[in-house]
Structure 1
Amino acid sequence: MDKLKQGIEEMQNHNYEEAARLFTESIDENPKQPVGYINFGNLLTHMNDYERAARFFNRAIELDGEAATAYYGLGNVYYEQEKFTKAQEQFIQAIQNGLDEADVHFMLGMTFVHQEYTKLALPYLLRAAELAPEDVDIQFQYGLCLAQNGQIEGAEQAMKRVLQLEEEHSDAYYNLGVVALHKEDAKSALFHFNRALEIQPEHMLASHAKAQVEQALNE
């Protein structure tokens, strides 16, 4: 097994020092290959050492201006620092250089969500949802974005999909309750808010919404 593969394995097993040693040796042996720098950058991002991580990703981009995963890695560095506009630029570069995976579309969509550009987020979250139909977080955020864009029927379907993947998803139940209120179906809304609270008793939004619905039903 080559040193990069070994390093990735060590990183997955949380043996960060050993991973760093293997990545360093790989870079020393192949200083013109961007992949060593990318892997080291991923390791440093994992360790929250964003400044050094950015240097490694930038070095990889210097060596290969079309290294899509280097742009993706750099995007993650900026995202973790909440520099969403800068992250966006890198994720777009990654996609333009051929990276068509759920994660990059999802992360790009989330940069727009954090900046409250939910309309711009929607196509990227849709693409992520298509590429990763079994990913609970992606399906949930896509459903949330549909709701924020007023696409209530689509949001309802997405939240039901989340519950197919994870039966005890309190936020999905809460959002189905909100959908039911949009449809003026108070009893269904109450059922969903109660389910959210059964799963997560301290769910503040569900608790507040439930109290309001009960008050309205009693009047």
Structure 2
Amino acid sequence: MDKNQQGIELLQEGKWEEALKLFTEQIEEKPEDPAAYINFGHVLAEMNDAERALKFYQKAVEVAPDSSAAQYALGSFCFTNERFEEAAQRFERAIRSGMEEADAYFMLGLSFLYLDQTVMALPYLMRAVELDGEDVEARFQFALALAKTEQYEEAEKNLQQVVKQDPDHADAFYNLGVLYAGHYEEAEKAAEFFDRALEIQPDHMLAGYGKKMLEKTE
């Protein structure tokens, strides 16, 4: 077992200082290996030392620009700190460097959504769903992006899949209500979806507002 793996196990046991000692040794022994820099960055991030954590993530990318794990780690840090443009760049590089995992595509799509670039987000969210059909949140965000780009039938199909996978997904029921109220103009069906959202989450303000708007138009 290498020192990175030993360090990760120590972290899981809550032995942070011992873990950092091993990561430091790994960096000294293998300064071109990005893993120890990434792990050191993770620990510092957990300790809320964002400034130093960033330096270690950047160092990981510097020593191994083609490391998908290094690019992804830096992207995740940027995303957490609301630096969405840089996050998108890093996730994109992680994918180009060979990371073919649903989460990489999902995070790239989500970064574009936060940048209000829905059209850019769509293919990455679609790919995330293709790679992991059980990821409810990825499918939900994909459905929202479809609705924003006026692909209503596809949006409904995916929202229906979301509530099938997670019957307590209040936001999915709310958005189904919006679709049926606006696009399909089926007020009765829309009200059922708003009611279901409120049944799951009684303080769902948007669903409550949607229901009141329907009642006003009756």
> Deviation of residue 18 (structure 1)?
4.4
Question: 1:165 & 1:112 partners in 2: Cα distance?
Answer: 25
- TM-score normalised per structure 1: 0.91
Match of 2:162 in 1: 162
Question: 1:166 & 1:54 partners in 2: Cα distance?
Answer: 36
> Deviation of residue 144 (structure 1)?
0.9
Match of 2:153 in 1: 153
Match of 1:66 in 2: 66
Question: 2:13 & 2:194 partners in 1: Cα distance?
Answer: 39
Match of 2:194 in 1: 193
Aligned length: 217
Give ranges in structure 1 of 5+ residues lacking alignment. Answer: none
Question: 2:184 & 2:12 partners in 1: Cα distance?
Answer: 46
| Cα offsets for 1:113-150 (capped at 9, x unmatched) | 11111111101111111112111211111111111111
- What is the alpha-carbon root mean square deviation over aligned residues? 1.8
> Deviation of residue 17 (structure 1)?
4.2
Segment drifting more, 3-12 vs 80-89: 3-12
Structure 2 letter corresponding to 1:138: A
Name the CA shift for 1:173/1:17 in 2 (closer, same or farther; >3 Å). Answer: farther
Alignment of structure 1 residues 112-127 onto 2, 5 Å: 112-127=112-127
Name the CA shift for 1:212/1:95 in 2 (closer, same or farther; >3 Å). Answer: same
| Cα offsets for 1:48-88 (capped at 9, x unmatched) | 43322221122222222211111111111211221111112
Match of 1:141 in 2: 141
Question: 1:156 & 1:114 partners in 2: Cα distance?
Answer: 22
Give ranges in structure 2 of 5+ residues lacking alignment. Answer: none
Question: 1:11 & 1:136 partners in 2: Cα distance?
Answer: 29
Question: Does structure 1 conserve the Cα–Cα contact (< 8 Å) formed by 2:64 and 2:70?
Answer: no
Name the CA shift for 1:213/1:12 in 2 (closer, same or farther; >3 Å). Answer: farther
Match of 1:128 in 2: 128
Name the CA shift for 1:26/1:122 in 2 (closer, same or farther; >3 Å). Answer: same
Match of 2:217 in 1: 216
Question: 1:140 & 1:178 partners in 2: Cα distance?
Answer: 14
The answer to whether 1:57 aligns with 2:57 is yes
Structure 2 letter corresponding to 1:84: F
Match of 2:31 in 1: 31
Structure 1 letter corresponding to 2:5: K
Question: 2:180 & 2:81 partners in 1: Cα distance?
Answer: 37
Question: 1:66 & 1:133 partners in 2: Cα distance?
Answer: 28
Question: Does structure 1 conserve the Cα–Cα contact (< 8 Å) formed by 2:32 and 2:64?
Answer: no
Match of 2:8 in 1: 8
Question: 1:71 & 1:82 partners in 2: Cα distance?
Answer: 16
Structure 2 letter corresponding to 1:143: A
Question: 1:192 & 1:65 partners in 2: Cα distance?
Answer: 48
Percent of residue pairs identical: 47
Name the CA shift for 1:162/1:8 in 2 (closer, same or farther; >3 Å). Answer: farther
Question: 2:198 & 2:74 partners in 1: Cα distance?
Answer: 39
Structure 2 letter corresponding to 1:187: E
Structure 2 letter corresponding to 1:183: Y
- TM-score normalised per structure 2: 0.91
